[in-house]
Structure 1
Amino acid sequence: MGTDDTWPDALPVAQVRIARQTDQLDEVVRFYVEGLGLRELFRFEGHEGYSGVMVGLPGTGYHLEFTTHVDGSPGAAPSAENLLVLYFSDAAQMSDVARRLTEFGVEQVAAANPYWVANGGLTFPDPDGWRVVVMPQPVF
């Protein structure tokens, strides 16, 4: 299966953002930046009661946004199957990140789907319980 790094003509997207709220903004950002190793891209405060931080990989094409609201935010993660999966080029790179998360105080959890373990993946919860799976190689 080949890869095509261009967006379809019918969907000429310039950026992708996955956003969610949290009541633990500082802890969540610390997990993703200091623990996982993503970069902080942008931060804002006091926008109609919202504050937030965007984190991501190099560049700004794909990023995560975490927000909080002065009146509170939604509760816990919806299920053990709502995942952010990061694929590495090799097992050594994945192991470095897994070791950093463990040293950061994050305990690995069992994956709900046995596919991840069978293919060498490790699963870690963020401070809100949302799960991040690190995989030792790309799928395609």
Structure 2
Amino acid sequence: MGADNDAWPVAQVRIARPTDQLDEVVRFYVDGLGLREIFRFADHDGYAGVMVGLPGVGYHLEFTTQVNGSPGAAPSAENLLVLYFSDAARMSEAARRLAEFGVEPVEAENPYWTANGGLTFPDPDGWRVVLMPEPVF
């Protein structure tokens, strides 16, 4: 397939995971990081969830909760969502919003992220999000 993305038949990518703290997680990603809520559902076969865009609908995250409980803890400090900002000022703005919620950066497990200007934040479930000041590609 090479570099021609138009030839790839996948139209959307969704990364989904459960949480026991749906409202707090959505607040972290939407109000804190500035992603956009694109869809919300409730009472779907015992599940509720929210999808947030990165920044549109082609690539998005889905967070779900189940009426009988959902496992929410992150399995390791190396399970990362890495967000590459267009510049350091925009990354700093997201970090400032998170600080307003009382979310402080933590030390990255892999020193690569910090050495390249990244900041690592735990979401309410302990999953880590790395903010990078500029794109790699």
State the identity %. 80
TM-score (norm 2): 0.94
Counterparts of 1:109-124 in structure 2, within 5 Å, are: 109-124=106-121
Distance of 2:4 and 2:101 partners within structure 1: 37
Deviations 1:83-108, CA, capped at 9 Å, x for gaps: 01011121111111111111121111
User: Shift of residue 6 of structure 1?
Assistant: 4.6
Q: Which of these residues, 41, 54, 59, is aligned with residue 38 of structure 2? A: 41
Q: Which of these residues, 80, 95, 105, is aligned with residue 77 of structure 2? A: 80
User: Shift of residue 49 of structure 1?
Assistant: 0.3
RMSD across aligned positions (CA):
1.5
Runs (4 or more) in structure 1 with deviation over 6 Å come to none
Residue in 1 that maps onto 2:59: 62
Aligned residues: 136
In structure 1, give the amino acid aligned to 2:5.
Answer: W
Distance of 2:135 and 2:59 partners within structure 1: 17
Segments of structure 1 that go 5 or more residues without pairing to the other structure are: none
TM-score (norm 1): 0.92
Q: Is the 8 A contact 1:120 1:135 kept in 2?
A: yes
Segments of structure 2 that go 5 or more residues without pairing to the other structure are: none
Q: Is the 8 A contact 1:7 1:13 kept in 2?
A: no
Q: Which of these residues, 23, 26, 32, is aligned with residue 29 of structure 1? A: 26
In structure 2, give the amino acid aligned to 1:56.
Answer: G
In structure 2, give the amino acid aligned to 1:135.
Answer: M
Counterparts of 1:83-94 in structure 2, within 5 Å, are: 83-94=80-91
Residue in 2 that maps onto 1:128: 125
